[in-house]
Amino acid sequence: MKIGTSSVTTVDGSVDERAVVKLCSEVAALRASGVVVVVVTSGAVTAGVAALQPAGGRPADPITLQALSAIGQHRLMRVYDEALARLGLLAGQVLLAPLDFGERRQYLHARATILRLIELGVVPVVNENDAVADDEIRFGDNDRLAALVANLLGAEVLVLLTDTAGLFTADPRTDDGASLVEDVGEIGAEHERAAGGPGSSGGSGGMASKLAAARMASWSGVRAVIAAAHRPGVLSDAVSGVAGVGTVVQPRPRTLGARKLWIAFALDPAGRVVVDDGARRALVEREASLLAAGVVTVEGDFVPDDAVEIVGPDGVVFAKGLVGLSAANAADWVGRSSSELASGLAREVVHRDDLVVLVGAPARGARR
């Protein structure tokens, strides 16, 4: 489960001890019933702002945000540690950075560490390693991190706790006629429009971010629940599937294997490969490898084994994969048949074993 900044901090930005105690009590109740719970928590940066009280309020520059997260993280963890200790449980802090998901070896090591904590009877409390992961402070959020951790551990349920009851048909803050969307089989454009933008000044996410995380979870075969952190018994109700607990996003019937999930969701794309319609059909309908002949142009500065997004003639991203060729020498291979490629160049731009067709999957912007 993941709890957002607005649900774990007070108005002045300090850690909300009552909210953490409530959450930890529900974690303990689930543990007593035999359910393993991993907590992903936000709030370190905001807690750091509250502790330091910088002139002008919350700053915007990444370096200062990193410093503030280092100040706030141990304050946040202290509250979790004390709340769980009163319930006879140990907390284990796990700080993860994009590198831990971007390199296969680190990915497996992170999984092994968290699983060992669980075996030892410890409650893993996960947060982004904001003090070093500057990209995630500026562009990311812990909703995505929680979805990646759910994938990493093969979770059955991902619970995204926030300050609203779930996804509504419209913004309930401005539309009295808005109603809760209780069940979503497949996230569509209408759900994304209803999600809107960020929900609070202190957090980096919002309902749109939670919806994207829920979609990631569904591709992993994980049921996702977006619900209100203040609701009594929300964790137990979400796990049990109680009607009306929040917005439930159902897992897709056809999910991806662990390696392709890692390619699809753990790796940031280093660029884009634009293909023609024939290549798109071959990838989608025949699950073929992407050959240079079907490539129209490339964007970004990728090298072999980087992740790239694959874009159709309409500009829509429909797949992602590990590329076998470099953007730097694109003139030597873009649009060429295999027989025209120089010796030493890979025969496939993206091999089908390294390719994931994800129509409608959440995309990340290319590195610049």
Counting the structural domains of the chain, the total is 2
- Domain shared by 11 and 119, yes or no: yes
Answer with the one of 206, 231, 258 that is the final residue of a domain: 258
- Domain shared by 235 and 305, yes or no: no
- Domain shared by 192 and 304, yes or no: no
Burial annotation 11-48 (CB, 10 A radius, 16+ → b, else e): eebbbbeebbbbbbbbbbebbeeeeebbbbbbbbbbbb
pLDDT at 140: 54
pLDDT at 80: 97
In 3D space, the residue among 311, 290, 304, 210 whose CA is nearest the CA of residue 4 turns out to be: 210
Q: What is the mean pLDDT of residues 186-209?
A: 63
- Domain shared by 82 and 132, yes or no: yes
Answer with the one of 204, 236, 258 that is the final residue of a domain: 258
Q: How many CB atoms lie within 10 A of CB 254?
A: 7
Contacts 24+ apart (CB under 8 A), 27-32: 27/1, 27/84, 27/89, 27/123, 27/235, 28/84, 28/87, 28/88, 28/89, 29/235, 29/236, 30/235, 30/236, 30/239, 31/89, 31/123
The rounded distance, in Å, linking the Cα atoms of 221 and 219 is 5
pLDDT at 334: 95
- Domain shared by 84 and 223, yes or no: yes
With a CB cutoff of 8 Å and minimum separation 6, the contacts of 1 are 27, 37, 38, 39, 40, 146, 158, 159, 160, 161, 235, 238
Higher-confidence residue of 246 and 57: namely: 246
3 state DSSP class of 35 = coil
200 has a pLDDT exceeding 60? no
pLDDT at 188: 67
Exposure of 273 in the CB half-sphere (CA atoms within 13 A): 37
**Residue 363 pLDDT level (bands cut at 50, 70, 90):** very low
pLDDT at 134: 53
110 has a pLDDT exceeding 90? yes
pTM above 0.75, yes or no: yes
- Domain shared by 221 and 299, yes or no: no
- Cα distances from 55 to residues 67, 130, 201, 206, 229, in angstroms, run 15, 21, 17, 26, 31
**Residue 367 pLDDT level (bands cut at 50, 70, 90):** very low
- 8 A C-beta contact, residue 142 and residue 42: yes
Which of the residue ranges 10-24, 133-147, 281-295, 346-360 would you say has the lowest mean pLDDT? 133-147
Task: Give per-residue pLDDT as tens, 127-174.
Answer: 988 777 655 444 357 888 899 899 889 999 999 999 889 888 877 777
Q: What is the mean pLDDT of residues 57-65?
A: 82
pLDDT at 139: 34
Residue 215 lies in a domain: yes
pLDDT at 207: 82
CATH number at residue 63: 3.40.1160.10
- Domain shared by 342 and 195, yes or no: no
Q: Do strands 223-228 and 157-162 pair parallel, antiparallel, or not at all (unpaired)?
A: parallel
- 8 A C-beta contact, residue 101 and residue 267: yes
- Domain shared by 319 and 352, yes or no: yes
Higher-confidence residue of 97 and 37: namely: 37
pLDDT more than 70, % of the chain: 91
Range of the domain at 278: 267-357
**To which residue do tokens 């520059």 refer?**
61
- Domain shared by 317 and 171, yes or no: no
Answer with the one of 258, 285, 314 that is the final residue of a domain: 258
366 has a pLDDT exceeding 50? no
Rg (CA), the chain: 22
- Residues paired with 247 in a beta bridge: 226
Residue 93 identity (one-letter amino acid) = Q
Residue 317 lies in a domain: yes
Q: What is the strand order of the sheet 295-300 is part of?
A: 295-300, 271-275, 307-311, 317-322, 355-357
368 has a pLDDT exceeding 90? no
Q: How many CB atoms lie within 10 A of CB 261?
A: 20
Mean pLDDT rounded to a whole number for the chain = 87
Residue 362 lies in a domain: no
**Residue 63 pLDDT level (bands cut at 50, 70, 90):** confident
**Residue 202 pLDDT level (bands cut at 50, 70, 90):** very low
pLDDT more than 90, % of the chain: 58
Burial annotation 80-111 (CB, 10 A radius, 16+ → b, else e): bbebbeeeebebbbbbbbbebbeeeebbeebb
The rounded distance, in Å, linking the Cα atoms of 365 and 319 is 14
- Domain shared by 249 and 324, yes or no: no
In 3D space, the residue among 143, 141, 151, 80 whose CA is nearest the CA of residue 114 turns out to be: 151
